[in-house]
């Protein structure tokens, strides 16, 4: 082990690498103390630097490596590859030895509490620092102890960078209010008139319109769900009552919305301003509710303003029958998975027919979604379903020509 004395650290490392042979292969291990800023803030920069220096010496001895302080708060360890051992074995040995580092006893700092992030690579001298830095950064980002550089890691880093850029653009779009409702027809099965429209959230992203399966993971990850929901609520109410783009709308609502004070206050304000007769709140059937009184309070509030309640995706989870029994439901929307195969499944037909009979007894209207052809529509109408929604009647859109929907 060679311990390089403390002078201009970046020049020391550069000089060291310049003197290595191009054809030789080395293992580079880059180490960072986890929560290093905590130790700096609590013990001071001077003590932390001494700790880092002692750690550098101890790790160098243990791993039989050249050791350096790198960029003030990291330790760089470089050792020549042992050609008698498999590379995987050498990586495992480095990780194993990390657990057995012996520090000198004259330090006032408790080393036993230290945890590390470690980035490891094997390469020639030109790529050692770059690749071990990439491995270390990825380990920190994923909050794992160590990462070995590989082609797969490069792909993961590139994928993470793409994800980060997409999340940044989506965040910018949400904060700028580039959230918009698209509307899909809900048809009265008897008259074939448009009964109302379901509001489906979209984001205007540059020259594209993004669907929820693309943007919702980012919205959730960025904790922008509340902001997003409130933007949609305001625009739907405006479309119904101010612009009069549509005569009535259904809005999806989930347990996070119902338990969010700001969202509930906005709904209350919108209902006070506009009234609620033309608005239906679709409660997602799968939502879990620990305190059912919260849901009862919400439904009671919107009923005061003559809004309607619908259970969305009925049959997709375990909560639907509880909602059906305990809430004042106006509509029940059958989950699309039942509708897709209904033509070839007599049990499903019987199930939905029974559901329609139950609903009629309790003055609940039944809506079928994912209706995509004439035969499915005819079958649903004949077994008692009152309303239909699906591509057979038109895709979601926000395009208007005059007062006529271009669907």
Give the CATH class of 163-405.
Answer: alpha beta
Q: How many CA atoms within 13 Å lie on the side-chain side of 319? A: 17
Specify the DSSP class assigned to residue 277. T
Looking at residue 399, its pLDDT comes to 63
Q: Is the pLDDT of residue 269 over 90?
A: yes
Average pLDDT score over residue span 5-20: 73
CB contact set of 89 (below 8 Å; sequence gap of 6+): none
Give me the chain's average pLDDT, please: 84
DSSP codes joined into one string, 357-401: HHHHHTT-EEEE----SHHHHHHHHHTT--EE-STTT---B--EE
Architecture of domain 10-149: 2-Layer Sandwich (3.30)
Looking at residue 363, its pLDDT comes to 94
State how far the Cα of 227 lies from the Cα of 230, in Å rounded to an integer: 5
pLDDT band at 325 (very low <50, low <70, confident <90, very high): confident
Average pLDDT score over residue span 32-44: 83
Q: Is the pLDDT of residue 224 over 80?
A: yes
Q: Is the pLDDT of residue 315 over 80?
A: no
Looking at residue 228, its pLDDT comes to 92
Other beta carbons within 10 angstroms of residue 361's beta carbon come to 8
Which position has the higher pLDDT, 115 or 333? 333
State how far the Cα of 400 lies from the Cα of 142, in Å rounded to an integer: 46
In the sheet where 146-148 sits, what is the strand order?
Answer: 66-70, 74-80, 26-33, 116-123, 146-148
pLDDT band at 406 (very low <50, low <70, confident <90, very high): very low
CB 79 within 8 A of CB 63: yes
Q: Is the pLDDT of residue 405 over 60?
A: no
Residues of the chain with CATH 3.30.70.270: 10-149
Query: For a pLDDT cut of 70, what percent of the chain falls above it?
Result: 85
Residues of the chain with CATH 3.20.20.450: 163-405
The pTM (predicted TM-score) of the whole model is 0.69
State how far the Cα of 352 lies from the Cα of 371, in Å rounded to an integer: 14
Specify the DSSP class assigned to residue 335. P
Q: Which helix (H) or strand (E) holds 196?
A: strand 194-205
pLDDT tens-place string over residues 348-400: 999 999 999 999 999 999 999 999 999 999 999 999 999 999 999 999 998 64
Q: Determine the 3-state secondary structure of 6 from DSSP.
A: coil
């Amino acid at each position: 082990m060679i311990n390089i004395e403390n002078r201009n650290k970046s020049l020391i490392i550069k000089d060291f690498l310049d003197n290595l042979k191009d054809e030789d292969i080395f293992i580079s291990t880059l180490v960072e103390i986890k929560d290093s800023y905590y130790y700096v803030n609590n013990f001071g920069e001077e003590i932390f630097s001494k700790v880092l220096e002692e750690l550098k010496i101890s790790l160098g001895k243990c791993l039989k490596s050249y050791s350096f302080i790198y960029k003030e708060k990291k330790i760089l360890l470089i050792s020549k590859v042992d050609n008698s051992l498999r590379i995987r074995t050498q990586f495992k040995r480095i990780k194993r030895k990390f657990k057995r580092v012996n520090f000198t006893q004259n330090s006032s700092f408790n080393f036993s509490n230290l945890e590390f992030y470690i980035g490891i690579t094997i390469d020639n001298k030109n790529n050692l620092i770059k690749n071990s830095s990439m491995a270390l950064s990825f380990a920190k980002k994923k909050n794992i102890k160590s990462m070995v550089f590989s082609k797969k890691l490069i792909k993961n880093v590139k994928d993470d960078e793409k994800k980060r850029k997409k999340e940044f653009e989506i965040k910018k779009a949400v904060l700028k209010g580039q959230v918009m409702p698209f509307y899909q027809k809900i048809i009265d099965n008897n008259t074939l008139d448009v009964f109302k429209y379901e509001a489906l959230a979209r984001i205007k992203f540059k020259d594209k319109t993004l669907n929820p399966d693309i943007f919702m993971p980012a919205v959730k990850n960025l904790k922008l769900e509340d902001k997003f929901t409130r933007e949609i609520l305001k625009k739907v109410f405006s479309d119904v009552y101010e612009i009069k783009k549509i005569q009535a709308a259904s809005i999806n609502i989930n347990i996070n919305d119902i338990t969010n004070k700001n969202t509930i206050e906005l709904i209350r304000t919108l209902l006070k301003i506009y009234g609620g007769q033309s608005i239906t709140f679709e409660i997602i059937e799968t939502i879990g509710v620990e305190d059912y009184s919260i849901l009862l309070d919400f439904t009671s509030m919107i009923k005061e303003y003559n809004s309607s309640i619908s259970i969305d995706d009925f049959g997709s989870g375990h909560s639907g029958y509880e909602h059906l029994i305990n809430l004042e439901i106006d509509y029940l929307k059958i989950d699309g998975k039942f509708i897709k195969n209904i033509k070839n499944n007599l049990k499903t037909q019987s199930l939905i027919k029974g559901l329609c009979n139950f609903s009629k007894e309790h003055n609940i209207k039944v809506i079928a979604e994912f209706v995509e052809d004439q035969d499915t529509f005819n079958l649903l109408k004949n077994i008692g379903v009152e309303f239909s929604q699906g591509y057979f009647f038109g895709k979601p859109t926000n395009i208007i020509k005059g007062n006529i929907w271009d669907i």
